[in-house]
Structure 1
């Protein structure tokens, strides 16, 4: 228990202090080193089998050897490739999964180091993204975690006029990313018209391929994965609505403070898709929320002119620690408390 508490405090505080722009490069490197140490202590301390999705991943048919190229592609090959690589080096399956979680954790840690080094993003924004996503990216999600991170990079660089094409590999990680890929074409003159008709196109396309691939074993495995995953989803609770109100407040605040800048095609798309997904199913919306939060918080709005308010917001972000703890327990099974405390 003591090791877990110390690792939590060290990881959180080191990330916070590493974000401070007042640090010179050498001091920042030292603090980042403490963040890495704290993170590795957390990963070493937390039992991987206690995360919410462990057994759903473990039971996926995706880890069966593909029968052909179509089977390989339709089964979101990223995770199978990672699994196959570690299977060549490690036995049995439990140890393979442990290696996969460590690999995913390292990727996630590198991502958050990248995030804290962005000097053009306010500290409170980096802290909010960190406390909400650190555990779910690094300790739970093996497929959509890397997808979220790639889209975060895409949003950041695209908003700053730089091309980022790596998002085109995300459908091979998690098929749901196909929907948000529409933002890649945000510079098209008729983008908003395309956005309006895209739901109809997607539905028709799905019905067509469902009919066409209904007899394909690989496609059936996708449907079975969705079924298994959906059974593992928690019931809709009040926190889904609280989170919706929180995100809605951020969006409204954005329109009040930045007005027309909130009409950027990517922001409009992510807000619209999040709103639609919430009314379809709040749980689906919750899983879509990282796209919206990263697009909103990584957008280069002009800085708040009142320096004192910005300094206060950045300093008060150290109070996000309870959210950090809540994210830990939200990402793991209820027996985590009994296991460590």
Structure 2
């Protein structure tokens, strides 16, 4: 238990100091190296089977041969492709899933290393994103984790007037990201009109083609997900409401400080999606929250300043370590710390 706690602290502090030191300095490369090594050791210590979604993936129907090309295309083929690749190299299913979790972990780690090297993002924002998403992306989400990562990179580059077209692959990773792809058109002058008209168009489209789509077997997976969400899922009341209030407070503070800058189409879209899904189902909203957090924290509201207030906030972010440990618990099926070992 002590070894695991120390390793968690080592991983967290190496990321923390990598964000705080002078960009691209020798110290930064040393801390990044330490972060990568400690992350690898930490991953080897925690069993894959303890992940919240491990057995959901293990028994997932998409790992069976698809009935046809349409079925393969619309049922999130990314994960099936990853599974098929490792299944060709390895025989035992458990070993195949271990390889998939390792692959996903390496993708996630590469993303957080990329985040460290962004010189135009305040250190405290990088650390907050790391605390909230490190275990979620690297240890749990095999499908939507890479999708979130691509959208994070897309938001970062788009906010800085750079193109990133790889985000167009996200619907093949997780179908829910199709909704967020509307932000790809955010520069269109009629974007907000389209944003308001889209739900009506989608509803009418569904009513017209409902009978036709119900006869297509390939849509069974998507239809079943819609039914589950529409019927409601178990709520974790207090924590979801608290998270919603924190998000709403962060957005409200943004409007007070930055005013019109908060009206950027991507910021408005992600906040609307989050609010609408929260009132439909808080768990669904929680799955949309990474898009909003990435949009808010990666948006360049101001140029990087090294004034006393920012430096103080950056240094005080070391106090987020207990939250880092909390999210480890939240993403795994454990009752006590000893259960990790």
* TM-score of the alignment, normalized to the shorter chain, above 0.5: yes
What is the aligned partner in structure 2 of residue 22 from structure 1? 22
Query: Shift of the alpha carbon at 1:305?
Result: 6.5
What is the aligned partner in structure 2 of residue 100 from structure 1? 100
Cα distance 1:209–1:105, how it changes in 2: closer, same or farther (>3 A)?
A: farther
Cα distance 1:36–1:182, how it changes in 2: closer, same or farther (>3 A)?
A: same
Task: Say which is worse superposed, 194-203 or 264-273, in terms of deviation.
Answer: 194-203
Cα distance 1:306–1:67, how it changes in 2: closer, same or farther (>3 A)?
A: closer
What is the aligned partner in structure 1 of residue 252 from structure 2? 252
Task: Say which is worse superposed, 58-67 or 104-113, in terms of deviation.
Answer: 58-67
What is the aligned partner in structure 1 of residue 72 from structure 2? 72
Q: Which residues of 2 match residues 222-233 of structure 1 at below 5 A?
A: 222-224=222-224
Cα distance 1:202–1:226, how it changes in 2: closer, same or farther (>3 A)?
A: closer
What is the aligned partner in structure 1 of residue 63 from structure 2? 63
CA distance in 2, matches of 1:187, 1:227: 34
CA distance in 1, matches of 2:308, 2:324: 25
Query: Shift of the alpha carbon at 1:219?
Result: 1.6
Matched, 1:283 2:258: no
CA distance in 1, matches of 2:110, 2:268: 29
State the secondary structure of the residue aligned to 1:163. Answer: coil
State the secondary structure of the residue aligned to 1:109. Answer: helix
CA distance in 1, matches of 2:332, 2:240: 17
Task: Say which is worse superposed, 45-54 or 141-150, in terms of deviation.
Answer: 45-54
Task: Say which is worse superposed, 324-333 or 194-203, in terms of deviation.
Answer: 194-203
Cα distance 1:8–1:33, how it changes in 2: closer, same or farther (>3 A)?
A: same
CA distance in 2, matches of 1:125, 1:112: 12
What is the aligned partner in structure 2 of residue 35 from structure 1? 35
Task: Say which is worse superposed, 272-281 or 148-157, in terms of deviation.
Answer: 272-281
Is the 8 Å Cα contact of residues 334 and 340 (structure 2) preserved in structure 1?
no
Query: Shift of the alpha carbon at 1:215?
Result: 2.5
State the secondary structure of the residue aligned to 1:212. Answer: helix
What is the aligned partner in structure 1 of residue 190 from structure 2? 190
Q: How many residues align?
A: 341
Matched, 1:48 2:48: yes
TM-score, length basis structure 2: 0.94
Query: Shift of the alpha carbon at 1:338?
Result: 4.6
Cα distance 1:103–1:208, how it changes in 2: closer, same or farther (>3 A)?
A: farther
What is the aligned partner in structure 2 of residue 157 from structure 1? 157
State the secondary structure of the residue aligned to 2:244. Answer: helix
Superimposed CA distance per residue, residues 307-327 of structure 1 (whole angstroms, 9 cap, x where no aligned partner): 111111101001010110111
Q: Which residues of 2 match residues 1-341 of structure 1 at below 5 A?
A: 1-22=1-22, 25-224=25-224, 235-303=235-303, 307-335=307-335, 337-340=337-340
CA distance in 2, matches of 1:234, 1:116: 36
TM-score, length basis structure 1: 0.94
Is the 8 Å Cα contact of residues 79 and 143 (structure 1) preserved in structure 2?
yes
Superimposed CA distance per residue, residues 79-111 of structure 1 (whole angstroms, 9 cap, x where no aligned partner): 000000000011211111110000000000000
Query: Shift of the alpha carbon at 1:226?
Result: 6.5
Query: Shift of the alpha carbon at 1:193?
Result: 0.6
Is the 8 Å Cα contact of residues 86 and 96 (structure 2) preserved in structure 1?
yes
Cα distance 1:117–1:61, how it changes in 2: closer, same or farther (>3 A)?
A: same
Cα distance 1:194–1:4, how it changes in 2: closer, same or farther (>3 A)?
A: same
Cα distance 1:33–1:188, how it changes in 2: closer, same or farther (>3 A)?
A: same
CA distance in 1, matches of 2:262, 2:170: 26
Structure 2 unmatched ranges of 5 or more: none
Cα distance 1:320–1:210, how it changes in 2: closer, same or farther (>3 A)?
A: farther
Task: Say which is worse superposed, 207-216 or 285-294, in terms of deviation.
Answer: 207-216
Superimposed CA distance per residue, residues 162-208 of structure 1 (whole angstroms, 9 cap, x where no aligned partner): 01111111000000001111111111111111111111122233444
Is the 8 Å Cα contact of residues 32 and 113 (structure 1) preserved in structure 2?
yes
Task: Say which is worse superposed, 214-223 or 50-59, in terms of deviation.
Answer: 214-223
Structure 1 unmatched ranges of 5 or more: none
